Amino acid sequence: MALPQAKLTATEERLASLVMPEAGCTRKAREAALARVREMGLPGRRDEYWKYTRPDTLISAEAPSAALFHTDEPMMFHEFDRLKIVFIDGVFSPEESDDLSMEGVKIDRLEDICCKDIHWAKELYGVLEARGQSPVQRPLAALNTAFASDGVAIHVTGKPSKPISLIYRHASETSDAILHHIIRVESGAEVTILENGPAASRFNKCIEIDIADGGTLHHIRAQGRDHQRRAATHMFTRMGQESIYKSFTLTVNGVLTRNEQVIELTGDDAVAHVAGACVGDGDFHHDDTVFVTHDAVNCESRQVFKKVLRNGATGVFQGKILVKEGAQKTDGYQISQSLLLDDDSQFLAKPELEIYADDVACSHGSTSGAIDETALFYLRSRGVPSREATDMLTLAFLAEAVEEIEDEALAEVIVSRLQDWLARRS
Amino acid sequence: MAALDQTQVKEGVDQETVDAVREVGTYKYGWETEIEMEYAPKGVNPDIVRLISGKNDEPVWMTEWRLAAFDRWTQMDEPKWAMVNYPEIDFQDQYYYARPKSMEEKPKSLDEVDPKLLATYEKLGIPLKEQMILAGVEGAEDAPAEGRKVAVDAVFDSVSVGTTFQAELKKAGVIFCSISEAIKEHPELVKKYLGTVVPPSDNFYATLNSAVFSDGSFVYVPPGVRCPMELSTYFRINAENTGQFERTLIIADKGSYVSYLEGCTAPQRDTAQLHAAVVEIIVEEDAEVKYSTVQNWYPGDENGKGGIYNFVTKRADCRGDRSKVMWTQVETGSAVTWKYPSCILRGNDSQGEFYSIAITNNCQQADTGTKMVHLGKNTKSRIVSKGISAGKAQNTYRGLVSMHPKAKDSRNYTQCDSLLIGDKCGAHTVPYIEVKNNSSRVEHEATTSKVDDDQLFYCRQRGMDEEEAVALVVNGFCKDVLQALPMEFAMEAQQLVAISLEGSVG
């Protein structure tokens, strides 16, 4: 079907501002992705999948600028022993990054994989993104595959001794970063991936993750403090038998964030947990869009998303559990909740179930409301000052999402960031 | 049931049992009334719209209203977002108007109605003769000695054949008649309210309905009146290739109360038939309306051949403070259902409730749910939806709960449960939740599961056969909704639940 004229124009304008890198072996995948973008068109305001989030500034030819955020606070995760891979405005920085060699893992820059003969990378780049275009279209991810200017390929074959930390620094007020990472976790291997930083004034990031039978991947992400930044991120995860994927995202700032998680459980007995805590203030707009497909027997999936909003902030949740025919014994759970600290903030949700197998237990819940007055009264009657009591209840509300992080030390870091946010309240 | 027909009846089994078994599991209302019909030419265009308007002797303003709607319709596209698949409908290959020839001259009283028509309704179990009002359903405690009265408006294809108890209702000041009659007799009321809840440009099917609706029911309950009996409309599609487009308008004026029941059936045919109705309800200050539907249109055969395409727009506008509306629906029929009875909660302290059972079996598809739009302060809504899917059927709950910034201290509770019987069917939930103030509380819960093996085992152990056991478990699953139905309907609905699921086990 032909695209509407407005969409066609917007898409072509954006494409005109981009240049496809010399990409060697990823060339074919990139060209196919470009064809997908042209076929789908970039997201528009009228698209059902963008009902609650306006994509205009994510697709404009020029990236809107974002003021740099200056702080003396040390970067997130600084206290952890980790292998640092640093990108500044979307460009890999060899000076600031650690040596990329570590036992149990092989890390390459995206631009190197074309000359090296890395078969697994060739078979993964753009593949999961292409699979993830159905039944819902994700044109920004296809755009990313076609035009990604940097990224890393991480091949996990063992159990590396420390987490791999992807750090995204934002250095120039107007920057338009497109990063694409691919990660393959081999059978029985296990890795923790940390991500933090604002990356750029506009950031389009895509990660394709392929977890083989019995592999495990932990993912903890903190999206940077620079308030005016915009980000559209996609994570496509394909999971083999008895594999485990656990992902947690913390978002405390940003005028526009759209995080999409596309998870496909293709092997029996796989377990996927995705969680997110976001706290937003003012013109903050945060969108979590999750799509979990159960295509194997006896798998478990959990989605836990909590949003605290104030001063007119907007929180969006679009989550879906799709259970395909034959995916019996599925255990699917999804909860999305918002705490509105004042009357101007809003929560918009579309939690969906689509189920084609009968022997399943799937449930979802979604709630929205203000702080529980009775709980507040109880705390105050015990001598807790009003503000402290509110903070306690707010943290308790977010706790269910934070508890999804297995590593206690990492969970503590996240909690302390949330406490900082509460303390910053005017 | 072919297998049963060939079965040799064992000795000692009486014929009654065999007949009872044969009847169960088939669509009971699939027969056709042979009656001479008068059709408008096939297709839809301004001339057909004028013709329908002319047949009903409508005033000029009504004809123009229809023509404007038709004009709008030609610029609209069929909605594609629902999770239903059906072959492209050729809107020009339908009859938009069909009426029994004997209705050419409107009968003045029920005694003048063609006995064939009356027989049709009698066969459906719908009492049209006032003296034939059935005695109260067993156990109806609040029913007076002579039985509970229900006034019925019967619609046969495109026209209303008769309305009972009009005189008694008139005494109470209640107007209950066909909408074609209302347009002539009470133009001021129709003009004031028609299209104010579902505007002619609302959606594709509603717009088509606005242009070609042929008949339907009209209810006006004056201020402070509690309608002395339940009102009911019975829709019957009989003619082939004919779309039924009825329009219902219910106005509950200040402080009034009315309970309205709707039932529908159609003959068994190989080709799909179109049904696109619009129901508008206006609820003024302190008024209350209960609207209950048992939808049992022909669902098509087990291979998905034939059946009714049911595209319905139903909406209630709670205009006044403290007004209340309650939708209850039992959806067991139709090949395709596309229906979202909604509540606009405009008045402060107004309340909307939606109770639904949707059962799909064989190749049926249902995409149904509700919209609760909270505009006024301290408004409350409650949604309880039970979807049951068997065979190769697809059952979707689609709903919207919207709390506007000014709807302070409002409350919504939503519970949608789906039950799957068999591994070839699907159950889906698509809720939209929009909260734009923080003093309101919204809760949504949904679950999907299968019929519990332990419960089935327990029933089987007590000597029930498998189908009975499933019917019992499903009835338990639907209990919350069945309890919200008026007594007469609850009994019928319970049986329907069991019948709709026949053949789904094993």
**How many A/B residue pairs have CB atoms within 8 Å?**
117
Residue B404 DSSP code: -
Alpha carbon of A395 to those of A277, A337, A425, B169: distances in Å?
Answer: 10, 13, 14, 61
Which helix (DSSP H) or strand (DSSP E) does residue B37 occupy? strand B37-39
* Residues of chain B found within 8 Å of residue A369, distances taken between Cβ atoms: 438, 440-442
Instruction: Note whether residue B7 is domain-resident.
Output: no
How large is the average pLDDT for residues B268-290?
A: 91
How large is the average pLDDT for residues B409-432?
A: 92
A357 in Cβ contact with A327 (< 8 Å)? yes
Q: What does the pLDDT read at residue B407?
A: 96
Which helix (DSSP H) or strand (DSSP E) does residue B500 occupy? helix B487-500
Instruction: Note whether residue B181 is domain-resident.
Output: yes
* Amino acid code (one letter) for A20: M
Check if B402 contacts A (Cβ < 8 Å). no
Q: Give the one of A341, A351, A358 whose C-beta lies nearest to B421's C-beta.
A: A358
Please give the Cα distance from B195 to B179 (Å, whole number).
13
Check if B452 contacts A (Cβ < 8 Å). no
Is B441 close to A340, i.e. CB distance below 8 A?
no
Poorest-pLDDT segment among A367-376, B135-144, B223-232, B360-369: B135-144
Q: Is the pLDDT of residue B314 over 80?
A: yes
Q: Give the one of A358, A369, A370 whose C-beta lies nearest to B423's C-beta.
A: A358
For residue A352, the distance in angstroms to the closest alpha carbon of chain B comes to 5
Check if B400 contacts A (Cβ < 8 Å). no
Is B438 close to A340, i.e. CB distance below 8 A?
yes
Q: Is the pLDDT of residue B198 over 60?
A: yes
How large is the average pLDDT for residues A298-326?
A: 96
Residue A173 DSSP code: S
Reported confidence tier of residue B483, pLDDT bands at 50, 70, 90? confident
As for how many domains chain B has, the answer is 1
Alpha carbon of A40 to those of A26, A33, A136, B237: distances in Å?
Answer: 21, 10, 11, 43
Strands of A110-215 (E only): list them. Answer: 152-156, 164-169, 176-185, 190-197, 202-211
| Nearest by Cα to B101 from B153, B57, B156, B43 | B156
Q: Is the pLDDT of residue A270 over 50?
A: yes
Is A366 close to B424, i.e. CB distance below 8 A?
no
Q: Is the pLDDT of residue B376 over 80?
A: yes
Q: What does the pLDDT read at residue B26?
A: 64
Check if A353 contacts B (Cβ < 8 Å). yes
Q: What does the pLDDT read at residue A49?
A: 95
Reported confidence tier of residue B401, pLDDT bands at 50, 70, 90? very high
Please give the Cα distance from B371 to B383 (Å, whole number).
9
Check if B406 contacts A (Cβ < 8 Å). no
Poorest-pLDDT segment among A153-157, A404-408, B104-108, B169-173: B104-108
Please give the Cα distance from A310 to B404 (Å, whole number).
17
Q: Is the pLDDT of residue B9 over 50?
A: no
Which helix (DSSP H) or strand (DSSP E) does residue B412 occupy? strand B411-421
Q: Is the pLDDT of residue B138 over 70?
A: no
For A223, the token pair is 């999206």
Is B441 close to A368, i.e. CB distance below 8 A?
yes
How large is the average pLDDT for residues B112-117?
A: 75
B389 in Cβ contact with B421 (< 8 Å)? yes
Q: How many CA atoms lie within 13 A of B132 on its CB side?
A: 12
Check if A366 contacts B (Cβ < 8 Å). yes
Q: What does the pLDDT read at residue B505?
A: 62
Please give the Cα distance from A284 to A244 (Å, whole number).
32
Reported confidence tier of residue B17, pLDDT bands at 50, 70, 90? low
How large is the average pLDDT for residues A125-143?
A: 96
A174 in Cβ contact with A63 (< 8 Å)? yes
Q: What does the pLDDT read at residue B106?
A: 64
For residue A320, the distance in angstroms to the closest alpha carbon of chain B comes to 9
Q: What does the pLDDT read at residue A388?
A: 92
Please give the Cα distance from A309 to A273 (Å, whole number).
24
A185 in Cβ contact with A191 (< 8 Å)? yes
Please give the Cα distance from B252 to A69 (Å, whole number).
60
Q: Is the pLDDT of residue B22 over 60?
A: no
Poorest-pLDDT segment among A376-380, A406-410, B403-407, B495-499: B495-499
Instruction: Note whether residue B1 is domain-resident.
Output: no
The alpha carbons of chain A give a radius of gyration, in whole angstroms, of 21
For A69-124, the pLDDT digits (tens) are 888 888 889 999 999 999 999 999 999 999 999 999 999 998 888 777 777 888 89
* Own/partner long-range contacts of B127-136 (Cβ < 8 Å, ≥24 apart): B127/B152, B127/B164, B128/B152, B128/B154, B128/B161, B128/B162, B128/B164, B129/B164, B130/B164, B130/B165
For A50-79, the pLDDT digits (tens) are 999 999 999 999 999 999 888 888 888 999
Which range among A13-22, A177-186, A361-370 has the greatest average pLDDT?
A: A177-186
Please give the Cα distance from B222 to B172 (Å, whole number).
9
- Domain residues for B202? 27-140+152-500
Check if A352 contacts B (Cβ < 8 Å). yes
Instruction: Note whether residue B21 is domain-resident.
Output: no
Rounded mean pLDDT of chain B? 84
